[in-house]
């Protein structure tokens, strides 16, 4: 589905942001690149300063943009879930690093576990409008980071055959995981042919500093054939300028530096331009992912991606609300529909996220599928053709026909193609609703969750593969 009907920025504004990003890269540059990155980037024309900052001449940036991958295919383990990131094609999915699970009935926030993560992947696997499963929460029951990183990949992949995204704490853990992915894929060649996991990589610590360890993870993943999400997650008013435009400038500059880095190491390696600026509530300094400012930041970034014609991603769909209530609904829709209409290729954190990313909720993920289905209908837009303007239908109905369009051929045909129906969203009349004993949205979402989780995940690996994985790696999830 393609967006792009919404342009939060004028052409002049886009160019101004681009010029400011170029200036930031050539004048300010980035600190803290690892030695390997400095070597790679200076080899292609970046300039290491005596102040420890690496700077990027405008020509290097322009060249890099011109030569970078114009499209990225993110593979699913099942090819029917492949995502083609190009133009204004829009995909929605999960992401994040929530530390809590939200129980909608007891209103509890408790620590999230590897089972919760696996269940989230299983649920997402069954939802048509959730196109990928980037790890939305942290396995708090696995204290060892190495085991946590491995089990994160396992729990996600064992729950879905959609594309999976994840992070790694250290380069060595990424190496382990890639070994495990070889087993899952049936060999290194099969993995490299269709890498079904990407690395969500926070390669910068905004403002304008490389994250040394994450850069080492990134280099490892690039060598291992894993697509990279170049993730710059500044927070406007804290680690990025408080002005929306300034936060976009900084995120764009940082991701352009990341793009130089990736292409210096492996020209044309699949990379997603991950400008993910967040927003502070300036009264408290706390993050506010559900705000209008967040929706604008994300939409503005999407327009910059389109300007560069680079596959891009950003965050939307975050609720500040602690529960899937009315506030969560308006917060999630606001940024999700604006992200889609602005043509964002990858809409991360699009479902299930509460408390400004601190909590993840299975019921909310399920309801998010309806919400995103509606957003997708909006970005599909209005078809205007000889047929759809309906002059003949209007004429036939008014002059010779029944005076209404119920049951007309056009109506019956469009019912299947042009109309989207929610799964849990309730459209009954008050009378019918009362007769059905006032069904509660969250209760129905819980019922659907239990139905999905009552059967074993179809994405589980075959017995031999699973045994091989469990022999070589400490898998926490029960068989």
Of residues 157-216, those binding a second copy (CB under 8 A): 207-209
- As a whole number of angstroms, the distance between CA 228 and CA 208 comes to 19
- As a whole number of angstroms, the distance between CA 278 and CA 287 comes to 7
Rounded least distance, CB 56 to a second copy, Å:
14
Residue of 291, 302, 314, 448 interacting with a second copy (CB under 8 A) = 291
Q: Is 27 in the site for a second copy (CB under 8 A)?
A: yes
For residues 17 and 60, which CB has a smaller minimum distance to a second copy in the complex? 17
Residue of 307, 235, 237, 246 whose CA lies nearest to 273: 307
Residues 61-120 that bind a second copy (CB under 8 A): 100, 107, 109
Residue of 151, 288, 345, 457 interacting with a second copy (CB under 8 A) = 288
Name residues whose C-beta falls within 8 Å of residue 119's C-beta, 6 or more positions apart in sequence: 159, 362, 453
CA distances from 149 to 38, 84, 136, 171, 221 (A): 27, 26, 13, 11, 14
For residues 114 and 338, which CB has a smaller minimum distance to a second copy in the complex? 338
Task: Please identify, among the stretches 115-123, 133-141, 266-274, 291-299, the one whose residues bind a second copy according to the rule CB under 8 A.
Answer: 291-299
Residue of 67, 395, 451, 472 interacting with a second copy (CB under 8 A) = 395
Element (H, E) at 232: strand 228-232
Q: Is 337 in the site for a second copy (CB under 8 A)?
A: yes
For residues 145 and 388, which CB has a smaller minimum distance to a second copy in the complex? 388
Q: Is 284 in the site for a second copy (CB under 8 A)?
A: yes
Residue of 59, 193, 398, 458 interacting with a second copy (CB under 8 A) = 398
Contact 28, 241 (CB under 8 A): no
Rounded least distance, CB 104 to a second copy, Å:
10
For residues 7 and 42, which CB has a smaller minimum distance to a second copy in the complex? 7
Residue of 366, 326, 327 whose CA lies nearest to 448: 366
β-bridge pairing 346-348 and 313-315:
parallel
Q: Is 23 in the site for a second copy (CB under 8 A)?
A: yes
For residues 171 and 396, which CB has a smaller minimum distance to a second copy in the complex? 396
Rounded least distance, CB 348 to a second copy, Å:
18
- As a whole number of angstroms, the distance between CA 300 and CA 276 comes to 11
Residue of 35, 406, 463, 464 interacting with a second copy (CB under 8 A) = 406
* Per-residue buried b or exposed e for 89-123, using 16+ beta carbons within 10 Å of the residue's own CB: bbbbbbbbbbbbbbbbeeeebeebbbbbbbbbbbb
Rounded least distance, CB 403 to a second copy, Å:
7
| Cis amide linkage into residue 207, ω under 30° from 0 | yes
CA–chain centroid gap for 81, Å, is 15
- CB neighbourhood size of 327 (10 A): 15
How many of the chain's residues bind a second copy (CB under 8 A)?
125
Q: Is 248 in the site for a second copy (CB under 8 A)?
A: yes
Contact 6, 335 (CB under 8 A): no
Rounded least distance, CB 454 to a second copy, Å:
24
Residue of 48, 71, 329, 468 interacting with a second copy (CB under 8 A) = 329
Nearest 10 degrees: Cα torsion 39, 43, 46, 50: 50
Rounded least distance, CB 361 to a second copy, Å:
10
Residues 350-389 that bind a second copy (CB under 8 A): 355-356, 358-359, 364, 367, 370-371, 373-378, 381-385, 387-389
Rounded least distance, CB 326 to a second copy, Å:
4
Q: What angle do CA 274, 312, 173 make, to 5 degrees?
A: 45
Residue of 448, 466, 306, 479 whose CA lies nearest to 367: 448
For residues 223 and 377, which CB has a smaller minimum distance to a second copy in the complex? 377
- As a whole number of angstroms, the distance between CA 55 and CA 48 comes to 6
Residue of 32, 86, 390, 423 interacting with a second copy (CB under 8 A) = 390
Q: Is 341 in the site for a second copy (CB under 8 A)?
A: yes
Q: Is 10 in the site for a second copy (CB under 8 A)?
A: yes
User: Beta partners for 353?
Assistant: 360
Residue of 39, 43, 190, 286 interacting with a second copy (CB under 8 A) = 286
| 3-state DSSP of 385-408 | CHHHHCHHHHHHHHHHCCCCCCCC
Residue of 72, 461, 28 whose CA lies nearest to 259: 72
Half-sphere exposure of 210 (CA within 13 A, CB side): 30
Q: Is 394 in the site for a second copy (CB under 8 A)?
A: yes
Residues 432-471 that bind a second copy (CB under 8 A): 433-434, 438, 441-442
Q: Is 52 in the site for a second copy (CB under 8 A)?
A: no
Rounded least distance, CB 372 to a second copy, Å:
9
Handedness of CA 267, 29, 293, 104 (dihedral sign): positive
Residue of 80, 105, 427, 456 interacting with a second copy (CB under 8 A) = 427
Rounded least distance, CB 140 to a second copy, Å:
14
Q: Is 219 in the site for a second copy (CB under 8 A)?
A: no
Residue of 216, 293, 349, 369 interacting with a second copy (CB under 8 A) = 293
């Amino acid at each position: 589905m393609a967006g792009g009907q919404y342009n939060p920025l004028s052409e002049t504004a886009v160019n101004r942001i681009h010029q400011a990003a170029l200036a930031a890269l050539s004048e300010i540059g980035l600190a803290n690149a690892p030695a390997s990155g400095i070597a790679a980037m200076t080899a292609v024309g970046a300039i290491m300063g005596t102040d420890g900052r690496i700077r990027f001449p405008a020509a290097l940036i322009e060249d890099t943009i011109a030569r970078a991958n114009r499209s990225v295919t993110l593979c699913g383990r099942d090819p029917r879930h492949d995502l083609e990131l190009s133009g204004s094609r829009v995909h929605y999915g999960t992401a994040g690093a929530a530390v809590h699970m939200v129980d909608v009935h007891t209103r509890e926030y408790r620590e999230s576990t590897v089972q919760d993560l696996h269940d989230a992947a299983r649920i997402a696997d069954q939802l048509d409008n959730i196109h990928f499963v980037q790890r939305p929460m942290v396995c708090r029951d696995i204290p060892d980071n190495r085991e946590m990183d491995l089990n994160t990949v396992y729990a996600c992949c064992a729950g879905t055959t959609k594309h999976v995204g994840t992070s790694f704490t250290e380069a060595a853990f990424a190496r382990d995981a890639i070994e495990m992915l070889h087993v899952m894929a049936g060999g290194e060649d099969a993995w490299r042919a269709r890498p079904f996991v990407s690395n969500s990589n926070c390669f910068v610590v905004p403002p304008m500093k490389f994250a040394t360890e994450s850069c080492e993870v990134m280099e490892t993943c690039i060598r291992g054939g894993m697509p990279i999400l170049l993730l710059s997650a500044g927070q406007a008013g804290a680690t990025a300028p408080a002005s929306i435009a300034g936060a976009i400038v900084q995120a764009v500059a940082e991701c352009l530096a990341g793009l130089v880095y990736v292409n210096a190491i492996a020209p044309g390696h699949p990379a997603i331009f991950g400008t993910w600026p967040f927003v502070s509530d300036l009264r408290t300094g706390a993050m506010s992912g559900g705000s209008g400012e967040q929706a604008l930041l994300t939409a503005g970034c999407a327009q910059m991606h389109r300007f560069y014609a680079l596959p891009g991603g950003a965050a939307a769909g975050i609720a500040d609300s602690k529960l899937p209530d009315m506030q969560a609904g308006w917060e999630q829709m606001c940024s999700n529909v604006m992200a889609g209409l602005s043509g964002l290729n990858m809409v991360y954190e699009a479902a299930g996220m509460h408390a400004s990313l601190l909590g993840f909720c299975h019921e909310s993920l399920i309801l998010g599928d309806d919400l995103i289905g509606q957003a997708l209908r909006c970005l599909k837009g209005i078809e205007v053709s000889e047929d759809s303007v309906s002059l003949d239908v209007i004429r036939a109905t008014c002059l010779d026909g029944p005076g209404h369009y119920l049951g007309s051929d056009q109506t019956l045909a469009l019912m299947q193609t042009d109309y989207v129906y929610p799964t849990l969203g309730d459209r009954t009349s008050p009378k019918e609703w009362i007769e059905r004993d006032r069904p509660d949205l969250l209760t129905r979402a819980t019922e659907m969750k239990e139905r999905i989780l009552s059967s074993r995940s179809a994405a589980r690996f075959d017995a031999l593969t699973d045994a091989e994985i469990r022999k070589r790696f400490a898998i926490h999830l029960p068989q």
